[in-house]
Structure 1
Amino acid sequence: MHSLLKRQIDKKLKGGLNDLDIFLDAVNESYGNYESQIEMLQRAMKLSSDELFEANQRLRDEAESLKDVNKNLQSILESMSLDPELTSKNENFDSSEYIKQQSIEIIKINKQREELLVNLEKQNIALNEYAHMVSHDLKAPLRSIDTLINWFIEDNLEMMNENNLKSLNLILSNVEKMDLLIKGILNYSSVESQPGDERLIDLNVLIQDVLNIIEVPDHVAVTVKNKLPKIVGNDFRFKQLFQNLIQNAIKYNDKEKVIVEIGCLENENEIIFDVKDNGIGIPKVYQNKIFDVFSKLHNDGKSSGIGLAIVKKIIEFYRGKIWLESQESIGSTFYFTIPKDNGNT
């Protein structure tokens, strides 16, 4: 397609670089259209995330109600079997009717719970399908713009001046940012549907694999403080989890010697991991917001604002929790737990 593209560019420019502004305007207009679509996708994901949160909250409330009903029923059964005189003191007490009402209430709550679970699953499926569809539609034209701009620079390099190159490189930079954002959306939406079976993972080996994949500069020291356990899970999910935490620790660090430490503690029920750095730290007011989708403290073009949201989603998938301690200019420590019985063992 090289010759065809070149012919089309020459045809549009006619007089050479005198008409470059027309070409740049056309590309910038395309970029603006795709940015609008990205904003639409962000709004849709935000609405869907809010709906999922509300559904989860309702499930928790219903579960608590069910616990209360079960306790009441258990209390009645115990009183009837262990202490018959207790109920006989109340002349108006009808044990069979009471148990019947409790049974109806349990059936009603279970039905509501099942409906919520079905709706929650449908929303998850719809959100994933929408994210994949929009992301696929956006990636193809981005690749075309990137290829076209690079070919144009290569074929007309001798006619380029500083301003022309600056404009074209700005377009390439914006394309790269959008591509990074799209990848983040795809990773976030596919956390719960990753291919591959759950298996026993040696986290010591996994951390080394992660360090071999990411770019670790010479002034960065990443150490594992103690031997990490083996854990049942999906290899790709845990690689995403540790990769995002380690990359964040390296990226947001202003020290001459960057230190990142990984460790863990175990108790009877769970494993508590920590990833500590000596970076720039996170202000207290932002510490709860950084796990939200599309939330980022620094608009430097290096981050999609989805990395920590992916981390949180993976941990919650394994029924754990995450929190942090941080001081500005001193560093941050991210803590997260993975239950030993996380539903995959």
Structure 2
Amino acid sequence: MFNKERFQKLLLGNARAFSPIERSRIKFSAGAIVMVILSSLIFLTYDLYLGYPSSLWVFTPFILIFGYAWRLLRLGQFDAGRYLLLVALNFFIYIVMSSIPEDSMSAIFYVGIMVVEYVLLGHDKKLRLFALLCLSFALYCLDAYVEFSILPMREYDEETLQVNKLVDFVVCVAGILMTIKLLIDHQQDIIAERTQTNEELQRLNNELDKYAYTITHDLKGPIHSIHSLIHMPDIDHANFNQYLSTMRESFQSLSELIQDVSEQARNRNFEVTKEKFNMRERVEIIWELTRHAPEAQGIEFILDMPKELMVATDKGRITGMLNNLITNSIRYHDKSKEKAYIKVSGKVVENNLHFSVEDNGLGIETEFQEKVFDMFYRASNKLGGSGLGLFTVKESINKLSGKIQLDSTSGKGTTFSIVIPDVGIEEL
């Protein structure tokens, strides 16, 4: 059975494109190279059979050039691979077709390459596309109206000429059908990408509506509380400290909300940047900054991570994830337990970073576990929080192509396990 993914792996190796449309063009380029190499081998075999050994010295260098263009694609040098393919293909077709006398089929080869040029470059590179189309047209005119050939002119009898036309026709039809198939795949990728974009825009619009409503609601509460209390100390001096404490809590809620909103916006809009850093040191810094909070008192912190755990990934997003998960564990710890703890573990396995944040806190009811990553979801309004923390964690993991797993039992505790791929420091 034909395995499409395995075939694409054979064509492009580990090369990665930035978008589905670009990936489609690269697959088209690789497929075109394979088609050209196979066609060249067929023509070379046919020429050798007819007794034209000089073709070997023309076909062989071009086959090597096409192979090198393929290698450039597999190395991720997409533009260089495409331009080398198209320029070499133009001259290859001209050299071969100009040596064939009165071949009415030659025009179809030039038409084919102009279609390939248009598909591979499209409207994104208009000047280069125009230059290549002009090159193809100029070489066709040179072939059709100027009697010049680098190769010796072929001398065919009538029977061989007819066979030659048949071979040309079969190769042209096969090439055009393959080009059409690649073009259809290309258009399907474009449609799929635009459909995905439309769905993403719809999701973002829905999130924006919810975002605006919830942010407005969450801002009103603390502001209304502060506005109500700001004049109370002048009226009731006896409860001054209580009013001050309530206002302090309101300001703290506003500060946390602004921080969470800023982090979520940064996470969504900033590109992924890789840098080398010590994972254990990041965790230690985060705990040092959070352990002095009143709600963190009495919680034992356990760090199960090698001292020299160096990784290469997005430092800001990893720090944000750890900060959100540790803060959540502090906020939802179980005050009734004598030995509350938070345990952070981490290691690198086969170039993937595995880390987890575990606690023996309040836990999460089974029916609510699917909702904890939703925007503005709060397990409990009494314990505060903006409801953006775990949502931002999930978005960060998606940005890094990672995975997260939640294991929680109400009353016993919660563990968030995360896997981030491609963190090898040798990649930088």
Alignment CA distance shift 1:141-1:287 (3 Å): closer
Letter in 1 for 2:396: I
Among 274, 281, 284, which residue is 2:356 paired with?
274
1:23 matched to which residue of 2? Answer: none
Deviation at 1:175? Answer: 7.0
* CA–CA distance in structure 2, aligned partners of residues 342 and 109 of structure 1: 35
Q: Is the 8 A contact 2:402 2:420 kept in 1?
A: yes
**Quick check: 1:112 aligned with 2:191?**
yes
TM-score calculated relative to the size of structure 1: 0.60
2:344 matched to which residue of 1? Answer: 262
Q: Which blocks of at least 5 consecutive residues in structure 1 are unaligned?
A: 1-58
Which whole-Å deviations, capped at 9, do the CAs of 1:236-258 have from their partners, x for residues lacking one? 32222111111222222222211
Q: Is the 8 A contact 2:24 2:185 kept in 1?
A: no
Alignment CA distance shift 1:259-1:77 (3 Å): farther
User: What is the DSSP-based 3-state SS (H/G/I as helix, E as strand, rest coil) of the residue aligned with 1:192?
Assistant: helix
**Quick check: 1:236 aligned with 2:312?**
no
Deviation at 1:179? Answer: 5.6
Letter in 2 for 1:230: M
Letter in 1 for 2:416: F
Among 282, 286, 306, which residue is 1:227 paired with?
306
Among 269, 274, 286, which residue is 2:368 paired with?
286
Deviation at 1:307? Answer: 1.0
The 5-angstrom pairing of residues 1-345 of structure 1 reads: 95-112=174-191, 115=194, 148-149=227-228, 151-158=230-237, 177=253, 180-194=256-270, 198-214=274-290, 215=293, 217-227=296-306, 229-254=309-334, 255-340=337-422, 345=428
Alignment CA distance shift 1:275-1:70 (3 Å): farther
Q: Is the 8 A contact 1:279 1:329 kept in 2?
A: yes
* CA–CA distance in structure 2, aligned partners of residues 74 and 287 of structure 1: 50
Q: Is the 8 A contact 2:277 2:311 kept in 1?
A: yes
Deviation at 1:220? Answer: 0.7
Q: Percent identity?
A: 20
Higher RCO (CA 8 Å, separation ≥ 6 residues) = 1
Letter in 2 for 1:252: Y
User: What is the DSSP-based 3-state SS (H/G/I as helix, E as strand, rest coil) of the residue aligned with 1:300?
Assistant: helix
Q: Which blocks of at least 5 consecutive residues in structure 2 are unaligned?
A: 1-17, 43-166
Supply the RMSD in Å over aligned alpha carbons. 5.2
TM-score calculated relative to the size of structure 2: 0.50
* CA–CA distance in structure 1, aligned partners of residues 420 and 396 of structure 2: 10
* CA–CA distance in structure 2, aligned partners of residues 99 and 248 of structure 1: 56
* CA–CA distance in structure 1, aligned partners of residues 399 and 342 of structure 2: 25
User: What is the DSSP-based 3-state SS (H/G/I as helix, E as strand, rest coil) of the residue aligned with 2:300?
Assistant: strand
Alignment CA distance shift 1:130-1:305 (3 Å): closer
Deviation at 1:158? Answer: 3.3
Structure with max Cα Rg: 2
Deviation at 1:192? Answer: 3.1
User: What is the DSSP-based 3-state SS (H/G/I as helix, E as strand, rest coil) of the residue aligned with 2:381?
Assistant: coil
* CA–CA distance in structure 1, aligned partners of residues 389 and 235 of structure 2: 38
Letter in 2 for 1:203: M
